[in-house]
Structures are given as C-alpha cells and as structure tokens.
C-alpha cells in the first residue's frame, strides 16, 4: 500500500524544499503504519488538521486517518490513473497540479473521490508538473480482488501491510469484479462512517479547485438497462405497469438531525452536533452580521423550547427577561398596553436584544398564534459572555487616524488551528492581502475575493493593474502568478467578455515568458484552453459596404482555423465582445473550422447580419503567429517550404478523445505501462489533454493552399484577392511511425474504440413490410446498412442496385420518400418518428408504404405521456435540466444577487430558474387537459412515479415541481380523480409532499440534502438555494463603518461553492436509479452490483437486437416529447379546464389530499 521509500529518500532536496510542510511531515508519512510513533502521528495530525479537504473530520476520526494516509510523488507528464480503473483511494494535492475533465487542480485541492454507486474511475487524471500528494485509501480496498502487487502510475511497486486474513492487491486496469467479501464485514460500517464524515459540512470543505468541484468526473451516459418491453402500438399497461415490484413503497422518514442535536443537553453536544446546528442557523435573520465564532459559540449553549398549542402565553407583561430567544418555527403576537399588536415570525428574535447583565423587563403579553411553536433560547449570562468575547478577539488596524481593516482571532479544532482573519477592510487592503500569507483559518481568501471583487471594485482593471505592479517584485512574483492562475481557472468568463482584461492576460503571458517562467506559462495556457467556452456574438450593419471594424487571420492553408487578429476600439465589434485571439467557430450556420481564408472573407463580407459562434483561443492564435514568422524566416534562409502539421480546430478540453488513425495495425500497447508519457514533448502532451487532433484526420496526404502573406482586413468594403506564391502547395502527411517519442495517442483510452457489441440498432423494412433488426455502430453509413440488410434478407443481387430510403407520412394524403446519401451515418438518431427505413430496389418503382399503413405510421408518431416509461422520462428530464444547471457560471449567482450589469449576464441561471414553473405547469396542463377520468387518474399515478424517480436520482428541482403541480388547486380539487388513486401511490405522494413542509425553514428537505448518501451530482430545489443566498445578502450589510464587510462575502462565496459543487460530477444513467442505500448499507455494495451488471453487459456477444431497438426507440420518443411539451401557464385557463374535468361542488375549495386513504 505504500510507495517505495528508497525512491522518495533520493528526493531529499525536493522534499526539504517542498512547497507544503517540512521534511519531518513527509518522512512521517513515508513510514508504514506499524512503524509510526506517537510523535510521527502528532506531526501528521498537525498538518492534516489545517487542510480544508479534511476540515469536516473531527479530531478522533482525523487521528485515526493519520495512521493510514500515505505520501506519493509523481513526475510531470505522467498519468495518475485512467478511466475505468478501480477507485481504491482519493488524493489531496500538496504541490504541483493535475488536470481532470477540463479542470485544473492546484495545491490543497482534493480529487479522485468516488461517485455514488460506482467504484471505478470515471475520468483520466494527468499530472501537469511534478506533484506531491497525500493518498487516502478507502476502507473497502481490502476486499477488492487480490493480485500480485499494486503499482503506481510510474511503475513503482507499492507494498502492502500483510496482515492475517488479507492478501496483497493491485491497481486494476481491467474489468475484474469483486469475487468475495472479506471475513471482516465490519469494514462496511467503517466505510459508511467515513463517507458520512466527509459528507457532513460540505460547505466548509471547499478546495482550491474552486468551482470545478473537488471531483470533476466524466461518466458515461449509456442507456439504462430496463426489463424487456414491447412498445409496438404503445399500450399503456405494458409501458408502465401498476404492479411494479416494491415501487410504491414508502419513501421512508428522514432523520431530523437538527432536532436530535437541539434535544441534547449542551454539555452532551459533540463538535459534529455544533457544526450541524451552525449550518442550520445561518439561514435565520436573527444571526445576521454575527461572525462565525460567535454563531458557533451560541450553538454550543442554545436550548430548545416547544409550545404545542396556539393561544398559549409565552411571556407576561413586565416579566423579567432572562434569555435571548429566536423563533425556530411558528408565529407569536405581542399585545401592548396601548392596544397595538406586534407580530414575530420564524427567524425573528426577542428578549435580551442587547448583551447586558442588567435587569430588563418584557413589555406586553406574548402568545402563540399557531400550533407547534419552537424557540431557541440562550441564557442571559451566556449571551453576554459570547457577544463580548467576540469583541475582545477583534483588532482594529488604523492608518492616518482612520480604521482601514478589522481582523479577528479565531481558534478551531480545540486550538489546533488558529490565526487572524479579515472581517472588514478597505478595497485596497483586501487586494493587498491577496499576496500576503494566509492563515490556516482562512485558506480560501483568494477564491472568495476573485468571486466577489466585482461587488466593491469599480473595475476589474484596478486589480489587474495592481497585479502587474506586484509582478515586478521578485518576492511577490510567484504569489501574483498563482492569483492570476486561479482567476483564469475559476472565472475565465471575466476575460472572455472583457477586451481590456483579455489584453491584460496577453501582456501577463508575455511577462511570464520574459522572466523564463515557462512552467507557469504552460499552466496558464492549459487553463485558458480548458475554460474557454463557445459564445454567441451578433453583428448587424445597414449595408454590405459598411466596414466590420475587425481583421482576421488563418485559414485551412495555414493549417488552422480563422482567428480575429485586431478589433477597433469603440466599434460595434468591440462592444459586442469580439477581441484579439478569438477563434470564429461558425458564422450563420457555416462551419469556420475547416475553411480557407478567402472563403471566410467572402462569407463575412457578403451579408449584413452575422450570427457568430466565438471561442477564446489566444494560445493557438499566438502559436499560429509564431509558426508563420518561423516559416517566413525558413523561406528566406532556405528558399524552400517545409511541411508541417497543425491542428485544424480550436481546443476542446471537454472532449478527451484524441484520435489518430495509423497504418500500423498490429502495434501493441500496454495500458498499465504509463511511464512512456514522460518522454512525450510539451506540444504532444498538450495535444493529448486538449484533444487537438481532428476526428477526421487520416494518413492520406492533404492538399492545402499557399499560406497568406498578410493580414486580410475587413475594414475595406471590397474583397481583395490574396496573392499566391509561386511555390508548390504544401503537403501535410500524418506520421505513420510510432515510437516512444511519437506514440499513438488514440490507444490511450481505457475503453476500446469500438466495443464488442454494436451500440445501435436500425429497423429496416422491405416493400412486402417484412423487417429485420440490424445492430450497427453509430458511424456505420447507409451504404453499409444496405449491404448488411441484403445479407440478412438473403438477397444475392448486387448492392449497387439497392439504396436505403426513409419514408415519412405527414398526413393521410402526403407521403415523402427520400433516398439517403450513401455516406450518411448516425442513422438511428436521424430517423423521424413518423418514418421508416426501407431497402429499395432502384430498378423497380414499387410502393413502399401501402395506403392501409398510413394511419398506423401517423398513430405511431403521436406521443402520449401514458405511453412513455416513467423511469426514462425522469432520466431524460434530469439529464436535460442538469445540462442547464452545470453551465451556470459562479459569477451569475453574484450578478443576479447584487443586480450587477455584467456583460455576460445570467443566461444559464435565468433558464434554470424558469424550469420549476415550466415543469409545474406542465403537470397541471397534462392532468387538466385529460377529460377521461380513468386516464386522468393514470396520469396522476404517472407523475407520482416520475417524482419518486426524480428523488431517487437526486433531481429535487423536478421532484418539487411535479409535486407542486399535483398540489396546485386546479389538480387538488379533482376529488373524483384522487379517489381512484390506489393507496400505495397516495402514500408515496404524501411522503414526497411532506418533504416540501416549510416548517423550521424547510428542515425536512435540508435533512434530505445533508444525508450522507446524497452526494453530487444533484439538482437542488432552486427557489430554496436562491432564498439562502438572498438571506445572506439582505441579512448582512455590505459595508460596515465605511469598510467592505468581507465576512458577508465570505459567506456568499461559500454558499455559491456549495451550490456549484452539486454539479462537480456528471450523471451516469447506468447507476442513477440504484436507489438510496439504507443506514445498514454502504454505497460500495451498490457499486458492486453496478460493476457486475456492466461487466455482464460488456461481455455479451449476442445482444438482443429487438430489445436494444425498443429501448432506443423509447428514449427517442421521450426526448421528442420533452422537446415539444405543451405547457399552459395561464391559471385562469387552467382552472377553466379543471372545471371541465369535474364540475365545481360545494366542498370544492377544501384541500383534498390530506383526506386521501388515511388508513
């Protein structure tokens, strides 16, 4: 389990001068657990307790971890782990950097954690520079399949502690599964407890990876395996049966952890209990403007008081006050002597409002006005001491007679972590703190500042100019570089939408190059390529003669895309957001990634309306300029043109699938041997992580036009012809020799380029209406389908006599027949729902679709919700909503909260916030639009099942939207319909609706979200997430005594990270419906079942073609249905429809669901 210690000891100088900790810490980590002394454990503990990734662990659990954690060092350009390997551990980075799934992770980041229900790596991890890291093994690693010995990425042997009853294991790159459980089955409980520890207080467990999340994982979204189903004719009873085994069981009650903590005596509360209460009370206005230590101290002494019945007197007039209280649930009224009344609600406080030990008396009579009123009370003495202790710990920093900064001394973990933290400061002093040493109690200051600076700085250039000045100081250069790198990695959208900031970034790259900081420059370029996203820019002009005010370079003849080289300031193009270094990906639907320079100019100048897709790609633009200058020099010196290979498109770091075709077919490659990667040069490595190789590249020669000799400007109204060189055209040929320095990167993928089984099925008919199911791959062409169909039908005629046709029926009198091009691929996704594929004999004029089949095809194209599988609907709904949610930039939450007029705006946030109402009205529209009573009841059952499925896959946003739609008055009043709903569905509905209980600040929903098994990915109920951010904003002043209240912005940044972390992993359809394990189960057990199921599917050599077709057909129908939802949001119209379903009666206004099947 531990690396070869001799190798590490040979790096003594590196360890001694490491960027994190001292040599004693590293030496202690390198020792085997049984060799570590108490002093070693204390040294390890002293370093681990200050790490943000482990901040949720209390001292007993952290000390236990000190016995098992270990140390690893890896060289640059290495692969730490590959996709598909067993996930036996996770990591905390001490120095260096790694790259995972389009995100860069920097020191003190944690990465490599498992996703729920899956024990395999879902993405590849690449090391960008020499890196040190702490390795934390999962407890269940002992029960994995045994092997010879585990090996690290650079083939260092990792030894194991051979205890009795255990066998050595190895890092697994195959699809092996667990054969048997360990005799010590108690490991399951240990694993569950550790998972619970790491889940709790996730908001405090931010890492320097910031908004990329602590574990950016790539998960496949293959189709889910369902039972066989026949959707021909789409009978409702066969699509979703009422007798689903175990489906409609109760969702189960959630433990109310907050209530349990409050019911304990303050002396019996653990640190875990206090953290739970601390997280809970931050949403109450009574605790606004309090510092974190003050709130934590109040949580340690608060008591719970409950008054069950309304009308009970809480406090009499002139009664002596002895506590400070906060309303946890319910409402009270205070009747004054003058007859006036004051009302207090949840979150309001009363009693000793000012910390004092003097006697104070209550004015008026306070009584409850609702049942079940609950209060948090802190005794007067405790309240006085806590509030005054907070004042004693603060320090005011004065310059020129004015307070410029206020800091507070904070102590955590029983004194193990302590230091000063900024509470309030001027903007200048906050910026100065960016390059100062940060204490262990404030490790995320830089990330917090970079997110919130836009609130209190007039312009981001104030920060940019300051960073440029500091860079000239040698002692601050590395710190400034880290700030810029974090800025680009976390909020690259700031640079994409601001031309001035983009110029700053380009100048900063030049400064790094001047100082010879090539490693940092390389990281900055990787971050820019990883975070760049395609954006839309629209330009209009009155006539085609009007100039466009920007210039372009590049083209297919240069072996690259089209780049913007110059933008005139104060022009329309500049205001629209175009800037130097942008790559034009598309213009008016025309692909610009493989286009010549002249053709690009012709398209840009030839229209008055330009709708462009733009992607920031400054590194490639600069490389294109360098290559051009180098080729000019070569031509001048040698009078010859050298051939060169260039990438043809912008980097797409979100698609980690480099592709090179090679003529060498029998070249073997051992995926376990990854040390070769260290020999790959810088450019080859960047191409590997960037996927810069075009998917349509081949080994054949490609002819290019001559290179442009000058920058063709778009300022002129007429089109100028590019001068051509008399030299011959450049010939580019892909290398066909593979070696250690020229590896075949296409072989890096853990998964085979083509699986053993086809992944799609097409259904091909003949004119006599006989058909065959043909398993094919996605890239199979229609010509190949024809040849396969001829073989299946037993036709021996030449394939040239046949073609593949698509016949679609628009209506009873209109039939369209289209012959598909021979090279058309992706046939399953291109097929229309009202069409069929036919094998047509080109020598005959036979009718493919007879008249009697027209109505059948039209009927098949009509989609009803009752025909769709609820699991598939919930799955596709979740995936579509998650696409929107994960695209929300962290800055969008800030811009929306503070109503900032940012250039980028809040497009994804607005789209996601609209989903709740849209899906709620969708439910109402479907139910109220069905006049048949039985079908209406089935629709309600359908939606209840969908809501349950959404809960199972942690799509709480859609779950609440569906339940809200069923609870809406238009549906709620349909008494006759609800009476026919079976008991088991009524119970499921009531259980789900209970999660929406607003009492005690949505405590049931919050308890569900904080459950140890509810981990990313997930979709939160967005109105609650927005409410929490709004409360922090409105409940705390942005400025106090003229200083920026950074404590408020620290809370907002932490809450924003908490929301963004929910999208830190991607959904895997194969595991998203495994269900939530009970307290007696661990996620490892469910992951075990997943491994076995996926292995069984991969090992199947004879897939059921009919089943695959029906599954894919169901998915297509669901997607088509969701893309064409008929939503009515007019509530008057909906109520009218509801009245048509059931005529209003006398008891129509009474809520009905509470009466449902109480037995």
Residue 877: inside a domain: yes
Please give the structure tokens belonging to residue 905: 């705006």
**DSSP H or E run through 94:** strand 89-95
β strands within 518-659, DSSP E = 535-540, 550-554, 562-567, 582-587, 590-591, 609-616
Residues 1132 and 984 reside in one and the same domain: yes
Residue 587: inside a domain: yes
Residue 171: inside a domain: yes
More reliable by pLDDT, 452 or 138: 452
pLDDT at 938: 95
For range 1044-1065, the mean pLDDT: 91
More reliable by pLDDT, 191 or 402: 402
CATH number of the domain at 344, please.
Answer: 2.60.120.10
Residues 918 and 777 reside in one and the same domain: no
User: Residues for the chain: how many in total?
Assistant: 1159
CATH number of the domain at 465, please.
Answer: 1.20.870.10
Residues 383 and 451 reside in one and the same domain: no
Gap between the terminal Cα atoms of the chain: 56
Please give the structure tokens belonging to residue 1025: 């997430």
Residue 726: inside a domain: no
CA angle 656, 657, 660 (to 5 degrees): 140
Query: pLDDT tens digits for 121-142?
Result: 888 898 888 899 999 988 765 5
Taking the C-alpha atoms of residue 803 and residue 945, their distance in angstroms, rounded to an integer, is 44
Residues 525 and 575 reside in one and the same domain: no
Taking the C-alpha atoms of residue 847 and residue 281, their distance in angstroms, rounded to an integer, is 73
DSSP state, residue 120: B
Residue 238: inside a domain: no
Determine contact, residues 801/841, Cβ cutoff 8 Å: yes
More reliable by pLDDT, 367 or 810: 367
β strands within 754-828, DSSP E = 760-765, 771-776, 802-811, 814-819
Helix-helix angle 59-66:38-48, to 10 degrees: 120
Q: Say whether pLDDT at 5 is over 90.
A: no
CATH number of the domain at 837, please.
Answer: 3.10.20.90
Domain boundary among 480, 501, 531: 531
Residues 877 and 843 reside in one and the same domain: no
User: Considering only CA atoms, which of 855, 882, 918 is closest in space to residue 1020?
Assistant: 882
Domain boundary among 212, 231, 248: 212
Q: Say whether pLDDT at 216 is over 50.
A: no
Domain containing 770 equals 760-861
**DSSP H or E run through 367:** strand 365-368
Residues 886 and 820 reside in one and the same domain: no
Residues 458 and 384 reside in one and the same domain: no
Q: Say whether pLDDT at 382 is over 50.
A: yes
Percent with pLDDT over 70 in the chain: 72
Taking the C-alpha atoms of residue 225 and residue 759, their distance in angstroms, rounded to an integer, is 13
Choose the weakest-confidence range: 10-14, 421-425, 582-586, 818-822: 10-14
Residues 1013 and 1125 reside in one and the same domain: yes
For range 700-706, the mean pLDDT: 34
Q: What is the DSSP string of 675-730?
A: GGGGGS-HHHHHHHHHT-S-TT--SS-EE-PPPPSS-EESSSSSPPPPP--SSPPP
Taking the C-alpha atoms of residue 892 and residue 247, their distance in angstroms, rounded to an integer, is 39
Choose the weakest-confidence range: 547-551, 1099-1103, 1129-1133: 1099-1103
**DSSP H or E run through 510:** helix 499-514
Largest CA distance in the chain: 105
CATH number of the domain at 561, please.
Answer: 2.30.42.10
Residues 684 and 606 reside in one and the same domain: no
Query: pLDDT tens digits for 143-155?
Result: 444 433 333 333 3
Taking the C-alpha atoms of residue 342 and residue 324, their distance in angstroms, rounded to an integer, is 18
Residue 723: phi and psi, rounded to 5, are: -65, 140
More reliable by pLDDT, 1094 or 471: 471
Choose the weakest-confidence range: 200-214, 601-615, 790-804, 836-850: 200-214
Residues 388 and 519 reside in one and the same domain: no
Q: What is the DSSP string of 635-658?
A: HHHHSSPPP-----S---TT----
β strands within 230-322, DSSP E = 303-307, 313-315
User: Considering only CA atoms, which of 825, 873, 837 is closest in space to residue 1114?
Assistant: 873
CATH number of the domain at 1001, please.
Answer: 1.10.840.10
For range 613-640, the mean pLDDT: 78
Taking the C-alpha atoms of residue 746 and residue 738, their distance in angstroms, rounded to an integer, is 12
User: Considering only CA atoms, which of 1023, 762, 783 is closest in space to residue 916?
Assistant: 1023
Residue 401: inside a domain: no
Residue 571: inside a domain: yes
Residues 504 and 607 reside in one and the same domain: no
Residue 575: phi and psi, rounded to 5, are: -65, -30
More reliable by pLDDT, 44 or 852: 44
Residue 246: inside a domain: no
Using only the alpha carbons of the chain, give its radius of gyration: 33
Please give the structure tokens belonging to residue 1143: 């005529």
More reliable by pLDDT, 23 or 682: 23
Residue 953: phi and psi, rounded to 5, are: -100, 15
CB contact set of 751 (below 8 Å; sequence gap of 6+): 83, 84
Residues 871 and 850 reside in one and the same domain: no
How many distinct structural domains can be found in the chain? 7
Q: Say whether pLDDT at 944 is over 90.
A: yes
**Helix/strand number for the chain, H first, E second:** 40, 37
Number of Cβ within a 10 Å radius of residue 644 = 13
More reliable by pLDDT, 988 or 290: 988
Q: Say whether pLDDT at 441 is over 80.
A: no
Three-state DSSP class for 837? Answer: strand
Query: How would residue 412 be classed by pLDDT, with cut points 50, 70 and 90?
Result: low
Domain boundary among 531, 565, 596: 531
pLDDT at 756: 56
């Amino acid at each position: 389990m531990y690396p070869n210690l001799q190798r590490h000891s040979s790096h003594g100088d590196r360890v001694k001068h490491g960027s994190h900790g001292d040599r004693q810490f590293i030496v202690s980590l390198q020792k085997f657990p049984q060799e570590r002394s108490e002093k070693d454990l204390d040294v390890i503990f002293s370093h681990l307790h200050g790490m943000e990734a482990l901040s949720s662990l209390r001292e007993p659990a952290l000390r236990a971890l000190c016995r098992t954690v270990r140390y690893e060092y890896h060289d640059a350009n290495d692969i730490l782990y590959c996709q598909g390997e067993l996930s036996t551990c996770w990591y905390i980075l001490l120095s260096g950097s790694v790259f995972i799934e389009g995100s860069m992770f920097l020191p003190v980041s944690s990465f490599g954690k498992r996703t729920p229900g899956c024990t395999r790596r879902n993405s590849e991890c690449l090391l960008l520079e020499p890196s040190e890291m702490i390795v934390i093994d999962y407890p269940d690693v002992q029960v994995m399949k045994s092997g010879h010995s585990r090996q690290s990425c650079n083939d260092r042997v990792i030894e194991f502690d051979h205890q009795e009853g255990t066998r050595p294991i190895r890092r697994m790159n195959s699809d092996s599964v667990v054969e048997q459980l360990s005799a010590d089955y108690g490991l399951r409980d240990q694993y569950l407890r550790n998972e619970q520890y790491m889940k709790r207080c996730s908001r405090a467990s931010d890492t320097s990876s910031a908004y990329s999340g602590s574990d950016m994982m790539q998960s496949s979204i293959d189709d889910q395996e369902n039972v066989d189903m026949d959707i021909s004719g789409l009978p409702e009873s066969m699509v979703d049966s009422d007798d689903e085994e175990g489906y409609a069981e109760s969702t189960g009650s959630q433990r109310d952890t907050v209530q349990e903590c409050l019911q304990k005596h303050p002396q019996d509360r653990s640190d875990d209990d206090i953290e739970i209460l601390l997280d809970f009370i931050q949403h109450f206005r009574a605790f606004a403007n309090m510092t974190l230590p003050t709130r934590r101290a109040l949580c340690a002494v608060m008591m719970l008081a409950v008054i069950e019945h309304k009308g009970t007197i809480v406090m009499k007039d002139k009664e002596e006050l002895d506590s400070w209280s906060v309303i946890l649930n319910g409402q009270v009224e205070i009747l004054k002597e003058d007859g006036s009344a004051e009302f207090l609600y949840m979150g309001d406080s009363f009693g000793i409002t000012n910390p004092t030990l003097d006697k104070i008396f209550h004015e008026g009579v306070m009584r409850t006005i609702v049942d079940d009123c609950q209060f948090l009370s802190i005794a007067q003495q405790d309240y006085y001491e806590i509030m005054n202790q907070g004042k004693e710990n603060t320090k005011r920093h004065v310059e020129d007679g004015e307070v410029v900064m206020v800091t507070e001394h904070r102590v955590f973990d029983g004194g193990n972590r302590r230091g000063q933290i900024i509470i309030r400061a001027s903007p200048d002093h906050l910026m100065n703190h960016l390059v100062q040493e940060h204490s262990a109690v404030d490790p995320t200051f830089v990330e917090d500042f970079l997110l919130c600076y836009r609130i209190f700085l007039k312009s981001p250039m104030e920060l940019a100019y300051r960073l440029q000045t500091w860079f000239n100081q040698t002692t601050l250069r590395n710190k400034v570089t880290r700030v810029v790198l974090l800025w680009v990695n976390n909020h690259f959208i700031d640079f994409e939408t601001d031309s001035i900031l983009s110029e700053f970034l380009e100048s900063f790259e030049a400064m790094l190059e001047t100082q010879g900081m090539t490693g940092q420059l390389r990281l900055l370029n990787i971050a820019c390529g990883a975070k760049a996203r395609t954006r839309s820019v629209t330009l209009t002009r009155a006539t085609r003669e009007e100039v466009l005010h920007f210039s372009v370079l590049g083209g297919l003849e240069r072996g690259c895309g089209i780049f913007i080289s110059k933008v005139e300031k104060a022009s329309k193009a500049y205001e629209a957001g175009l800037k130097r270094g942008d790559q034009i990906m598309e213009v008016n639907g025309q692909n610009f990634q493989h286009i010549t320079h002249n053709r690009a100019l012709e398209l840009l100048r030839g229209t008055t309306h330009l709708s462009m897709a733009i992607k920031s790609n400054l590194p490639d633009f600069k490389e294109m300029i360098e290559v051009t200058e180098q080729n000019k020099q070569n031509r001048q010196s040698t009078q010859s043109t050298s051939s060169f290979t260039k990438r043809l498109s912008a980097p797409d770091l979100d698609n980690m699938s480099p592709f090179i075709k090679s003529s060498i077919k029998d070249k073997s490659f051992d995926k376990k041997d990854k040390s070769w990667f260290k020999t790959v040069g810088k450019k080859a490595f960047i191409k590997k992580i960037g996927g810069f190789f075009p998917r349509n590249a081949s080994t054949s020669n490609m002819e290019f036009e001559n290179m442009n000799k000058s920058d063709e400007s778009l300022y002129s109204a007429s089109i100028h012809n590019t001068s051509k060189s008399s030299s011959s055209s450049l010939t580019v040929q892909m290398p066909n020799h593979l070696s250690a320095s020229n590896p075949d990167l296409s072989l890096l993928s853990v998964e085979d380029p083509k699986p053993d089984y086809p992944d799609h099925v097409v259904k091909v008919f003949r004119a006599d209406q006989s058909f065959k199911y043909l398993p094919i791959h996605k890239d199979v062409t229609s010509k190949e389908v024809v040849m396969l169909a001829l073989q299946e039908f037993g036709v021996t005629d030449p394939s040239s006599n046949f073609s593949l046709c698509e016949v679609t029926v628009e209506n009873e009198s209109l039939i369209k027949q289209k012959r598909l091009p021979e090279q058309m691929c992706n046939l399953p996704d291109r097929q229309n729902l009202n069409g069929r594929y036919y094998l047509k004999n080109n020598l005959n004029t036979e009718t493919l679709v007879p008249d009697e089949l027209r109505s059948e095809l039209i009927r098949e194209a009509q989609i009803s919700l009752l025909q769709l599988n609820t699991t598939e609907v919930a799955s596709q709904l979740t995936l579509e909503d998650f696409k929107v949610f994960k695209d929300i930039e962290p800055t969008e939450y800030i811009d929306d909260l503070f109503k900032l007029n940012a250039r980028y705006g809040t497009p994804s946030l607005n789209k996601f916030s609209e989903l709740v109402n849209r899906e709620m009205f969708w439910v109402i529209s479907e139910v109220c639009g069905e006049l048949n009573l039985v079908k209406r009841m089935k629709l309600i059952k359908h939606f209840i099942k969908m809501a349950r499925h959404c809960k199972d896959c942690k799509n709480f946003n859609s779950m609440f939207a569906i339940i809200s739609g069923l609870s809406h008055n238009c549906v709620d009043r349909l008494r006759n319909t609800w009476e026919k709903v079976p008991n088991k569905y009524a119970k499921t509905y009531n259980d789900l609706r209970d999660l929406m209980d607003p009492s005690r600040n949505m405590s049931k929903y919050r308890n569900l979200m904080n459950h140890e098994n509810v981990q990313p990915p997930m979709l939160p109920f967005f109105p609650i997430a927005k409410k929490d951010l709004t409360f922090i904003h409105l409940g705390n002043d942005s400025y106090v005594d003229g200083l920026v209240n950074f404590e408020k912005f620290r809370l907002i940044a932490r809450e924003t990270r908490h929301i963004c972390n929910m999208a830190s992993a991607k959904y895997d359809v194969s595991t998203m419906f495994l269900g939530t394990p009970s307290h007696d189960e661990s996620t490892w057990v469910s992951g075990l079942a997943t491994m076995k199921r996926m292995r069984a599917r991969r090992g199947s050599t004879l897939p059921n073609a009919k089943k695959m077709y029906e599954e894919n057909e169901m998915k297509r129908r669901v997607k088509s249905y969701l893309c064409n939802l008929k939503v009515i949001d007019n509530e008057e119209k909906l109520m009218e429809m509801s009245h048509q379903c059931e005529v209003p009666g006398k008891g129509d206004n009474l809520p009905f669901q509470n009466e449902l099947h109480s037995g």
